[in-house]
C-alpha cells in the first residue's frame, strides 16, 4: 500500500489518536466501558426502555422485614411481616430505602433482609433514619461488592419519562412507567408510620403518574438513561384517585444519606409551631400560627394568631419558606422573628431545639 505525502498530515493525527486510545484502555479499562455506555445510550430508541432497566435494575433490591425466633438470630418460618424496595448507593453495601419501611426501635424481634436481583439474601442493619424526608440508610452484614446506581446529574423536567422499579405487593422486581407530573411538591414527612403529610415540608417531592404500589416504597425512580432521579415514597389512594405518586429527589436523598453516614442522624432545628392552614386573599404575606407545641421552644414566646413576617431579616411569604429556614438551621440556633400581633409589630427570639428524627 502506497501512502502519498499529501495524506501524511491527515494520517499522522489519526495514528497518534489510535495509539493514545489503546494506551488509555490498557491503563484504565473502565474508560472503555464508560465510552461504550455513552455511545450506546446516545442511540437509545424512544420506543423502549430496556437499556435504562438493564442499567438500573441490578441496583434495586427487595427488602423484607421478618420476625425473629426466640434466640433473635434467625427468622421464624413464614414470618415476613412486610416487603418493600431499596436502592444500592455504594458498592460496599450502603442501601437507601424509606423510613416507614424499617422496623421501629421498640421492635427488637424484627430484622431486615435484603435480596439482590440475582437472588442473594443478606441481613441488613439501620445506620440511621429521618422521618422528615422518609429516608432510612441501611448497610448489609456481609463483606460484598454490590452494583451501585448512577445518580442523575440534572433535575427532571415536567413531562420527562420516568420508570419506577421496585417490588410491588412482593411480586418480585417490577418496572412501571409514566411521566414527571410535577416537581417541588411539598411534604413534611411522616406523621406516623402509615401517614405522610404531603401538604408542606422539606422534601420538595417529585410527582409522577408511574404506578407506585405498596411494596414500591424505597424503590428507584429513574430516567430513560437508567439514572436515579428519586426514591419512591408514597402515593395517593382512593376510589377516585389514580396516578398520583411521589418520589424524594436524588439530590435530597444524597444530602440526607451523607449526613446520616457522618452523624447517624440528620441534625435539624425544631421550632414547634404549625400554621393555621389558611391562605390570605389580600396582599398580606407571612405565616399565621395555628398551633404551638407546648413542649417546643416557641411555647410562651410565639402565640396562636401571630403572623410571622420575617425570620433573621428574611421576608417569609409562606409556610414552605419558614420550614426551609428552620430545617436548614442546627439545634441551639437563636432565630429572630418579626411578627404581627394584634395589629402591632413585635420582635421575638427563639432558640431552636433538635428535631426528632423518628416517630417511635
**Sorting pLDDT into bands at 50, 70 and 90, what band is 168?**
confident
Residue with cell 455506555: 37
Please list, in sequence order, all residues whose beta carbon lies within 8 angstroms of the beta carbon of residue 336, skipping any fewer than 6 positions away: 310, 311, 312, 313, 347, 348, 349
Task: Answer for the pair 226, 53: CB distance below 8 angstroms, yes or no.
Answer: yes
- Cα–Cα distance for residue pair 269/267, rounded to 1 Å: 7
Q: Is 134 among the catalytic positions?
A: yes
Note whether 173 and 118 are within 8 A (CB). Answer: no
Instruction: Enumerate the CATH 2.40.10.120 domain ranges in the chain, comma separated.
Output: 50-266
What integer pLDDT is reported at residue 187 of this predicted model? 55
Kindly give the residue spans of alpha helices, DSSP state H, lying in 47-93.
Answer: 50-56
Query: Quick check: 203 and 189 in contact, CB under 8 A?
Result: yes
Pick the more confident residue, 99 or 198: 99
Q: Is 355 a catalytic residue?
A: no
pLDDT for position 67: 81
Judge whether residue 328 has pLDDT over 80: yes
Strands (E), 149-235: 161-166, 174-185, 189-192, 195-197, 205-208, 220-222, 228-235
pLDDT of residue 312: 94
CATH 1.10.1200.10 fits 50-266, yes or no: no
Backbone phi, psi, residue 104, to 5°: -70, 160
Indicate if the pLDDT at residue 291 is higher than 60. Answer: yes
The pLDDT assigned to 281 comes to 53
pLDDT at 348 over 60: yes
Q: Look at the block and give the residue holding cell 417490588.
A: 167
pLDDT of residue 318: 81
Pick the CATH number of 269-354 from 2.40.50.140, 3.40.50.300, 3.30.1960.10, 2.30.42.10: 2.30.42.10
Give CATH 2.30.42.10 domain extents, the chain: 269-354
Contacts of 38 (CB under 8 A, 6+ apart): none
Catalytic member of 59, 82, 83, 100: 100
From the list 181, 188, 217, 327, the catalytic residue is 217
Res. 349: pLDDT tops 70: yes
In the chain, what percentage of residues exceed pLDDT 70? 73
Strand bridging mode 195-197 / 189-192: antiparallel
- Ramachandran quadrant class, 226 (left: phi over 0; alpha: psi -120 to 50; beta: rest): left
Q: Which of 82, 83, 134, 355 is catalytic?
A: 134
Amino acid at each position: 500500500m502506497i501512502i502519498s505525502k499529501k495524506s501524511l498530515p491527515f494520517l499522522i493525527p489519526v495514528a497518534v489518536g489510535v495509539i493514545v486510545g489503546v494506551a488509555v484502555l490498557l491503563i484504565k479499562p473502565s474508560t472503555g466501558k464508560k465510552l461504550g455506555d455513552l455511545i450506546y445510550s446516545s442511540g437509545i430508541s424512544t420506543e423502549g426502555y430496556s437499556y435504562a432497566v438493564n442499567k438500573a435494575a441490578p441496583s434495586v433490591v427487595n427488602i423484607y422485614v421478618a420476625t425473629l425466633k426466640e434466640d433473635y438470630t434467625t427468622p421464624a418460618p413464614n414470618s415476613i411481616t412486610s416487603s418493600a424496595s431499596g436502592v444500592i448507593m455504594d458498592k460496599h453495601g450502603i442501601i437507601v430505602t424509606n423510613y416507614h419501611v424499617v422496623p421501629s426501635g421498640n421492635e427488637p424481634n424484627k430484622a431486615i433482609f435484603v435480596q439482590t436481583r440475582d437472588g442473594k439474601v443478606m441481613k441488613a442493619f439501620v445506620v440511621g433514619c429521618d422521618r422528615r424526608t422518609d429516608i432510612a440508610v441501611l448497610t448489609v452484614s456481609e463483606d460484598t461488592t454490590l452494583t451501585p446506581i448512577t445518580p442523575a446529574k440534572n433535575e427532571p423536567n415536567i413531562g420527562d419519562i420516568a420508570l419506577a422499579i421496585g417490588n410491588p405487593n412482593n411480586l418480585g422486581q417490577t418496572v412501571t412507567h409514566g411521566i414527571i407530573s410535577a416537581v417541588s411538591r411539598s411534604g413534611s414527612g411522616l406523621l406516623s408510620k402509615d401517614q405522610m403529610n404531603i401538604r408542606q415540608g422539606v422534601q420538595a417531592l417529585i410527582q409522577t403518574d408511574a404506578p407506585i404500589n405498596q411494596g414500591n416504597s424505597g424503590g428507584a425512580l429513574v430516567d430513560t438513561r437508567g439514572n436515579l432521579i428519586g426514591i419512591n415514597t408514597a402515593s395517593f389512594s382512593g376510589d377516585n384517585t389514580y396516578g398520583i405518586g411521589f418520589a424524594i429527589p436524588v439530590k435530597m436523598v444524597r444530602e440526607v444519606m451523607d449526613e446520616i453516614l457522618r452523624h447517624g442522624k440528620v441534625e435539624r432545628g425544631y421550632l414547634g409551631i404549625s400554621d393555621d392552614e389558611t391562605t390570605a386573599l389580600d396582599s398580606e404575606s407571612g405565616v399565621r400560627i395555628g398551633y404551638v407545641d407546648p413542649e417546643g421552644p416557641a411555647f410562651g414566646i410565639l402565640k396562636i394568631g401571630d403572623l410571622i413576617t420575617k425570620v433573621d431579616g428574611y421576608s417569609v411569604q409562606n409556610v414552605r419558606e419558614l420550614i426551609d429556614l428552620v430545617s436548614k438551621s442546627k439545634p441551639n440556633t437563636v432565630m429572630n422573628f418579626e411578627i404581627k400581633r394584634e395589629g402591632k409589630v413585635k420582635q421575638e427570639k427563639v432558640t431552636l431545639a433538635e428535631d426528632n428524627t423518628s416517630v417511635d
